[in-house]
Amino acid sequence: MSASLAPECNEVKERYDNCFLKWYSEKFLRGTATTDECDPLFKQYEKCLSVREPISLVRPTHHHQKVLKERGIDKMVKEAREDNRENDAEHMKPVSVPSSPS
Amino acid sequence: MVKFYSSTDTYSYPFPAVTLAYFLRYPNPYSTHVLSTDTIARDFDPETQRLTTIRLHLKRSKLPSAVTKLLPRSLLGASASGDTQTYILEKSVVDVKEGWMDTESRNLEWTGVLSVIERQVFRRPMPEVPDEVKLFQGMEGAARRHGFLNFGGNGAGAKVGVDLNGETTEVESSVTLHSHVGEAWRKKRLAAQEGSSSSSEEEQPQKVGFLRSWGTATLQRNIEKIGLTRTLRSQPNAREGMKVVLERMREGGLVGVLEGMRKDREAILQGRDLLKRDGTPRAGED
């Protein structure tokens, strides 16, 4: 699995990623998913990322939470969630499938 | 001034496998520059069966010397040597019913110098049959794909699954490059001329002089050109990376992919070059 930005979150990330991959391949892709079963693990992972300050190898002064806030990612995330909730993913639809010639 | 690159490609793998490979594409031997990948938001809508994911990647990169030469030291700061890292925000939506995955990645750092937005749309090819038949075949196809995505990593079954289907996935990629360099300074200068706040006066002499000698538009055009060259060079690596992941999936299912990733990650931590190809640019500047 890929590493987390915050090394101390690697473990909880791996637990979440494994859960997600199983759910994604066994339920989501088969169209039988009813809920996101891995959400409780995601919440733990999310908490690890936002509460604790990772010892970043590359940029010790930038911790994750700061990154999310500074870069406006938290806002983008919120918007994306609202988009999805409103089922307004119209702009994310693939561009025109060529229509059959008249 | 915007530079634009686009291409289309076809993967010889079924759509569900390609979407899974997209989520699992780092690390791979062509992406040793990707230091971390975190899922920061995920939303499943049971109504539409759409999955929205937002991930944050941290990539190590090297600013091209052509760029470091163009920019003033004050802007480059600690990255004057060219070594830097970039956060990439990736948003994806998968609609498994309609058979598409729409992805968009953008850099969060250096956007003032060059903003790069990469979009990839994966699509299950449309069968050329009437709607009612299509629906039926779609269901049948989904059933056949089950073997391929077996979590237990049943290698033989997975292989048969792919070969029997002969299914493909179309991908449309585009990259938009846009340099805003100099725009903020120009705005500041205009503001200063209009007699409004001149709090940043001490910053101005160097930058104004620098811009005068170049011209903002020329500078932006040059930076976009350099970005485009880099994009053209990195696209094949990105494609090869996906293909490595898909091949691992075909050979050993999900377990095979995870095992491959584990090895790649170890190699990256030990600083080994996974490709060992002389003269190849470091897999990485995508």
> Which residues of chain A from 29 to 68 reach within 8 Å of chain B, CB to CB?
29-31, 33-36, 42, 45-46, 49, 57-59, 64, 67-68
- Give the residue from chain A lying closest to B35, CA to CA: A3
Name the residue range of residue A79's domain.
57-83
| Distance between start and end Cα atoms, chain A | 49
In this structure, are A15 and A42 located in the same domain? yes
In a domain, A42, yes or no: yes
ipTM of the complex: 0.75
How close B278 comes to chain A (CA, Å)?
26
Does position A96 have pLDDT exceeding 70, yes or no? no
pLDDT tens profile B206-244: 555 555 556 778 888 888 888 888 888 888 889 999 999
In this structure, are A33 and A62 located in the same domain? no
Closest CA relative to residue A1, chosen from B263, B12, B198, B244: B263
Q: How many pairs of residues across A and B have Cβ atoms under 8 Å apart?
A: 140
* CB distance B219 to B69 below 8 Å: no
CB–CB contact A29 B35 (8 Å)? no
In a domain, A11, yes or no: yes
- In chain A, what residues touch B255 (CB-CB under 8 Å)? none
Regions of chain B short of the pLDDT cut 70: 1, 78, 128-165, 184-186, 188-189, 194-214, 272-286
Closest CA relative to residue A53, chosen from A7, A91, A21, A100: A7
In a domain, A24, yes or no: yes
Give pTM, 2 decimals: 0.74
Instruction: Find tokens 């705005």 and name the residue.
Output: B187
In this structure, are A44 and A6 located in the same domain? yes
In a domain, A94, yes or no: no
CA distance B105 to B93: 12
In this structure, are A31 and A8 located in the same domain? yes
In a domain, A98, yes or no: no
In this structure, are A48 and A64 located in the same domain? no
In this structure, are A20 and A64 located in the same domain? no
Give the pLDDT confidence score for residue A94 in this predicted structure.
45
Nearest to A81 among B41, B50, B262 (CB): B41
Domain count, chain A: 2
Give the pLDDT confidence score for residue A99 in this predicted structure.
44
In this structure, are A24 and A45 located in the same domain? yes
In this structure, are A31 and A65 located in the same domain? no
pLDDT tens profile A4-51: 988 899 999 999 999 999 999 999 999 999 999 999 999 999 988 886
Give the pLDDT confidence score for residue B97 in this predicted structure.
93
Interchain CB contact of B135 with A (< 8 Å): no
Give the pLDDT confidence score for residue B160 in this predicted structure.
32
Instruction: Find tokens 């709090």 and name the residue.
Output: B199
> Which residues of chain B from 207 to 246 reach within 8 Å of chain A, CB to CB?
none
- Give the residue from chain A lying closest to B57, CA to CA: A5
In this structure, are A2 and A48 located in the same domain? yes
Give the pLDDT confidence score for residue B114 in this predicted structure.
87
Give the pLDDT confidence score for residue B275 in this predicted structure.
61
Q: Is B155 exposed, middle or buried (0-12, 13-18, 19+ CB in 10 A)?
A: middle
* CB distance B124 to B99 below 8 Å: yes
**DSSP secondary structure letters along chain A:** -PPPSSGGGHHHHHHHHHHHHHHHHHTGGGT---S-TTHHHHHHHHHHHHHS----SS-TT--HHHHHHHTTHHHHHHHHHHHHHTT-GGGGSPS-PPPPP-
In this structure, are A32 and A45 located in the same domain? yes
In a domain, A65, yes or no: yes
CB–CB contact B102 A34 (8 Å)? no
Does position A87 have pLDDT exceeding 90, yes or no? no
In this structure, are A15 and A41 located in the same domain? yes
In a domain, A70, yes or no: yes
Test mutation, B13, B25, B38, chain A, max A CBs within 10 A: B38
* CB distance B173 to B6 below 8 Å: yes
Asked which of A34, A52, A70 is the last residue of a domain, the reply is: A52
- DSSP bridge pairs for B83: B62
In this structure, are A72 and A47 located in the same domain? no
Report CA B10 to chain centroid distance, whole Å: 17
In a domain, A67, yes or no: yes
Test mutation, B26, B35, B43, B263, chain A, max A CBs within 10 A: B43
